Structure 1
Amino acid sequence: MEKIEQVRSALAGRGLQALWVTDPANVRYLSGFTHPDDGRVLVTPAEVLLYTDSRYTVQAKEDAEEGVQVVIASPLSALEQAAPKVAGLKVGIEAANLTVAGLERLQSAWQAQFHPTEGLVEELRLYKTDAEISGIRAAQDLADRVFGEVRPMIKAGVRELDVAIALEQGLRQAGATSAFDVIVASGVRGALPHGAASDKVIEDGDLVTVDFGANLNGYNSDMTRTVAVGEPSAELQRIYTAVLAAEEAAVAAIRPGMQAGDLDAVARDLLAEHGLAEAFAHSLGHGVGLVVHENPRLARGSEDVLQPGMVITIEPGAYIEDLGGVRIEDLVLVTESGYEVLSHSPKERF
């Protein structure tokens, strides 16, 4: 398995010999196990072992990728069985995920040296394989289809909650789940970047921001559209047009080798030209994969470098208190020659 050899190489570069993997996304990435919250992975110089309990005896064996050994054991027994395999080794632990209690249990069970690591597996996850890209593409295609089915119900007299429920139901009926809590924010609530759907009734003249994604077979999508109900005010149309221009300019600027902070500046500078610098209150975007928010980080000053195989969002926004807001977001694959937009739902044009 190429990814396991990459892990071992990364471990060697840090002077380590083994890795105890507890982060669910990393467990799934390295093992293929589809219930990673209930699994742990141990990478040693000679083996890759997936530890889970007896509820998953069949599932783990079906899911495990080639070269991954499945060990069915209770959490305590798993540590006891793993102890001889790490005796005397320098073992990396995932500092951002392993709890203090979890570390104490390791220290009691293993005669090993523990060293905190950060980003070791996540750095590998930055670059999606063809299979992962296919998985993300399928999730986004599904989200586009569901949005198209629900779009006609976004009209005056309908509650934000009803729109969110319809999106979630559409995803469920298609065999997916919602990647995160659906955002539906209409009218003055559009000024809330993370305005979870409420019982507010959509009104004529509202702009309605809809941010949602599908989780399909472990991989996520993420997309935002701001749609018009009736005829929004001239000021709302002006803000929308500015955000759309910033979003499309940023997408068009994507290329491998570009610093993420420079891409953020493309959208931020354009919005500033429209007097909306202060209204753009968040970063331009983020990576998407097994986790809906992962690296790279597309933010002001970010030194992350875009490379082929990364899947990112481009999502500038402008939010004006007591007026409303706009966010437009596309899911984009960075390619060898530039980019491919994976989200295809239509955008408003004024």
Structure 2
Amino acid sequence: MQSRLQRLRETLSSANVDAFVVTDILNVRYISGFTGSTATLLVDSNSIKILTDSRYMEQLAQECPSATIIQVQRNWTKRAAELITDAKYLRVGLEYSIPYRDWESLNLLSVETELVPMESPINQLRWKKDDVEILAIRHAARITDMAFKHVLTVLRPDITERDVAVEIECFMRRSGAESEAFDTIVAAGPRSAMPHARSTNRRIGTGSLAVMDFGARHDGYHADITRTVLIGTPSEEQQRVYNTVLNAQRTAMEAIRPGVSGGAIDSLAREYIEKSGYGAYFGHGLGHGLGLDVHDGAILAKDSRIILEAGMVVTVEPGIYIPGWGGVRIEDDVLVTENGYEILTHSDKSLAVR
């Protein structure tokens, strides 16, 4: 935590602010180690203060022993304004994500201080993972892979999308996940053309594409994979679309290494799909950062200028979605290494599973 705090302080010095107020709870956790759901940080060059209510005092004492813990009631802004005024800060940075009501309250109470809304530097610090974070993501990825292997044993034509999702989520919990990373997506038949479909009572059926997008959360960190499967024998077009997505993913992953832009990686997969005749059916970005948030920055996107660095963890998830016909998406979690990349998820990628 000290190295993260030091890096934050260096960015604050560059931004010419005396202190920084952190309200995003994931950023609070990243900087302080606090795993609760409600807290605000006030960070300056010498101290870190955590403001929260009585429910978390004991937890904070255990998780953040080096921080100054300040108990507040509902309105934390009043106490924060007192601290800002007492310290005689001239400029204090605020995360853009701060609720307007809280910003307005701080602004009214901190009359001698200039409040500076800004893109949180913590968001960018979180892109590059340390060894502890990578270990947690590896664990989440292992549980996720185990869940996919399990669900293949119960997949049958008469099982519903919703029951498949329940099987995945229950297995991950039993295998050590603290929760699922997000609401599990299972979409079969024409519904597989909806990238973020909600699971329903539709049966998987025979000869239908079924997209499963899910992940485990371990120690606050996420895994996120997608597999597309089919019970029976795929048609020529189903296999062609599947192979196009699979090869687009491989093409993109093979180019991942430090120094390459996220936009360049996205372009490789996008161009492959376009040359195969399906460019109109791939609308979303190729992938995103992965960490404390399941979408930890749009790193692999069409217009991304983010330069890959060793320690970043990204998803690579091209897809083709044809309305009324169905869709295919294949997604894996990838660690950027000093010399290239390492795939962290290893679930089988066969289309036909029966």
| Contact 2:19-2:89 within 8 A present in 1 as well | no
| Contact 1:287-1:296 within 8 A present in 2 as well | yes
Question: d(CA) in 2 for partners of 1:123 and 1:193?
Answer: 27
- Structure 1 counterpart of 2:232, from 230, 233, 245: 230
> Is 1:171 equivalent to 2:158 in the alignment?
no
* Equivalent residue number for residue 334 of structure 1: 336
* Equivalent residue number for residue 300 of structure 1: 302
Secondary structure in 2 aligned to 1:184?
A: strand
1:130 offset after TM fit, Å?
0.5
- Structure 2 counterpart of 1:257, from 253, 256, 259: 259
Unaligned runs of 5+ in 2: none
Question: d(CA) in 1 for partners of 2:47 and 2:180?
Answer: 35
Question: d(CA) in 1 for partners of 2:87 and 2:114?
Answer: 9
Q: 2:67 corresponds to which letter in structure 1?
A: V
* Equivalent residue number for residue 24 of structure 1: 25
* Equivalent residue number for residue 53 of structure 2: 53
Per-residue displacement from partner, 1:301-332 (whole Å, max 9, x unpaired)?
Answer: 32111110100000000011111110000000
* Equivalent residue number for residue 186 of structure 2: 184
Question: d(CA) in 1 for partners of 2:151 and 2:187?
Answer: 15
* Equivalent residue number for residue 290 of structure 1: 292
> Is 1:39 equivalent to 2:35 in the alignment?
no
Q: 1:44 corresponds to which letter in structure 2?
A: D
| Contact 1:288-1:313 within 8 A present in 2 as well | yes
* Equivalent residue number for residue 15 of structure 1: 16
| Contact 1:211-1:225 within 8 A present in 2 as well | yes
- RMSD over aligned CA atoms reads 1.6
Per-residue displacement from partner, 1:47-96 (whole Å, max 9, x unpaired)?
Answer: 011111111121111222x632222222436436534454333100001x
Query: Which range moves more in the overlay, 173-182 or 248-257?
Result: 173-182
* Equivalent residue number for residue 345 of structure 1: 347
* Equivalent residue number for residue 100 of structure 1: 100
Q: 2:309 corresponds to which letter in structure 1?
A: Q
1:214 offset after TM fit, Å?
1.3
Question: d(CA) in 1 for partners of 2:305 and 2:75?
Answer: 42
* Equivalent residue number for residue 220 of structure 1: 222
Question: d(CA) in 2 for partners of 1:58 and 1:69?
Answer: 13
C-alpha change, 1:300 and 1:80, in structure 2 (3 Å) is closer
Question: d(CA) in 1 for partners of 2:300 and 2:89?
Answer: 41
Identity %: 39
* Equivalent residue number for residue 119 of structure 2: 118
| Contact 1:18-1:86 within 8 A present in 2 as well | no
> Is 1:130 equivalent to 2:109 in the alignment?
no
> Is 1:206 equivalent to 2:200 in the alignment?
no
* Equivalent residue number for residue 79 of structure 1: 80
| Contact 1:255-1:337 within 8 A present in 2 as well | yes
> Is 1:155 equivalent to 2:149 in the alignment?
no
* Equivalent residue number for residue 142 of structure 2: 141
When the two structures are superposed, what TM-score results if normalisation uses the length of structure 2?
Answer: 0.94
Query: Which range moves more in the overlay, 143-152 or 17-26?
Result: 143-152
Q: 1:220 corresponds to which letter in structure 2?
A: H
* Equivalent residue number for residue 281 of structure 1: 283
Q: 1:45 corresponds to which letter in structure 2?
A: S
1:162 offset after TM fit, Å?
0.3
C-alpha change, 1:310 and 1:85, in structure 2 (3 Å) is farther
Q: 1:30 corresponds to which letter in structure 2?
A: I
Q: 1:157 corresponds to which letter in structure 2?
A: D
Per-residue displacement from partner, 1:216-235 (whole Å, max 9, x unpaired)?
Answer: 11111111111121112211
Question: d(CA) in 2 for partners of 1:44 and 1:116?
Answer: 16
Question: d(CA) in 1 for partners of 2:323 and 2:122?
Answer: 41
* Equivalences for residues 233-248 of structure 1 within 5 A: 233-248=235-250
1:125 offset after TM fit, Å?
0.8
Question: d(CA) in 1 for partners of 2:317 and 2:293?
Answer: 17
Question: d(CA) in 2 for partners of 1:248 and 1:85?
Answer: 57
| Contact 1:127-1:309 within 8 A present in 2 as well | yes
| Contact 1:52-1:71 within 8 A present in 2 as well | yes
| Contact 1:83-1:109 within 8 A present in 2 as well | no
Secondary structure in 1 aligned to 2:243?
A: helix
Unaligned runs of 5+ in 1: none
When the two structures are superposed, what TM-score results if normalisation uses the length of structure 1?
Answer: 0.95
